[in-house]
């Protein structure tokens, strides 16, 4: 079973439309739609925006729907000049950029008493997603790198510069690292897919409404193809 999380309804509505044999359960105010896409068992859910919603949603998927892997699809702001609106970022790992316990000797971004700084994501799922991008999304570029998450919509150049220099992030959003943290704790495979909707700078507020729709189309197309392409249990059972 693959769990698909989108923060906003727009990020998952197309996937729900093509599902077959659907069953719907509402838990913690979230609508979990269980069914099939291309004969593959999936559960698709809108988590809501922000790290707390995302973490709660992920744990429910694991506990109640027994998912083996989670794909988080959505949009993000670019942190690198070469990553343009519409391009795809596939997570190598994730960091919670607004975690700050420097006063107790931790480096910025480190979750206290966790054994990792960045939460890893699955190499096999990422490789498969990259191959799909190169074959089916040839009009855009695909990047592999660190995804940053925080309860902040980054819309100024100074914050963008800080995040890029401090964490080496490729893009910034509000859910992926929380999902990856919960997956890490539960030893569940996870991949964060982000299509770039804005440049996370002083023009972000203007870019976002204009390019959000196209960015979502790219992430949904990739996620659908990824579900179709998953070969049995191979990307789930293989260890990183």
Domain boundaries, the chain: 2-230
Catalytic annotation, residues = 11, 198
Q: How confident is the model at residue 205 (pLDDT cuts 50, 70, 90)?
A: low
Q: Count CB-CB contacts under 10 A for residue 211.
A: 19
pLDDT tens digit string along 156-190?
Answer: 889 999 999 999 999 999 999 999 999 999 999 99
Report yes or no: 113 and 101 within 8 Å, Cβ to Cβ: no
Residue 120 φ/ψ, nearest 5 degrees: -75, 155
Task: Kindly report, residue by residue over 24-78, the tens digit of the pLDDT.
Answer: 999 999 999 999 998 999 999 999 999 999 999 999 999 999 999 999 999 999 9
Decide if pLDDT at 237 tops 90: no
Residue 119 CA to residue 91 CA, distance in Å, equals 10
2-230 falls under which CATH superfamily?
Nucleoside phosphorylase domain (3.40.50.1580)
Q: Rounded distance, CA 48 to CA 62, Å?
A: 17
**φ, ψ of residue 101 in degrees (nearest 5):** -125, 40
């Amino acid at each position: 079973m693959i769990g698909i999380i989108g923060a906003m309804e727009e990020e998952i509505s197309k996937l729900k439309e093509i599902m077959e044999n659907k069953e719907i359960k509402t838990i913690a105010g979230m609508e979990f739609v269980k069914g099939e896409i291309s004969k593959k068992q999936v559960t698709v859910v809108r988590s809501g925006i922000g790290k707390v919603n995302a973490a709660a949603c992920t744990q429910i998927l694991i506990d109640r729907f027994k998912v083996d892997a989670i794909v988080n699809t959505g949009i993000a702001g670019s942190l690198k000049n070469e990553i343009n609106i519409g391009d795809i970022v596939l997570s190598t790992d994730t960091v919670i950029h607004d975690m700050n316990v420097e006063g107790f000797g931790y480096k910025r971004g480190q979750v206290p008493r966790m054994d990792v700084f960045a939460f890893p994501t699955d190499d096999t799922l990422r490789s498969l997603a990259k191959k799909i991008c190169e074959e089916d999304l040839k009009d855009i570029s695909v990047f592999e790198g660190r995804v940053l998450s925080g309860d902040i919509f980054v819309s100024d150049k100074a914050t963008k510069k800080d995040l890029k220099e401090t964490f080496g992030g490729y893009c910034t959003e509000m859910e992926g690292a929380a999902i990856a943290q919960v997956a890490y704790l539960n030893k569940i495979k996870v991949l964060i897919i982000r299509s770039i909707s804005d440049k996370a700078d002083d023009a972000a507020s203007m870019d976002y409404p204009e390019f959000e729709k196209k960015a979502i189309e790219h992430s949904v197309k990739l996620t659908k193809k990824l579900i179709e392409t998953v070969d049995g249990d191979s990307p789930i059972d293989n260890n990183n």
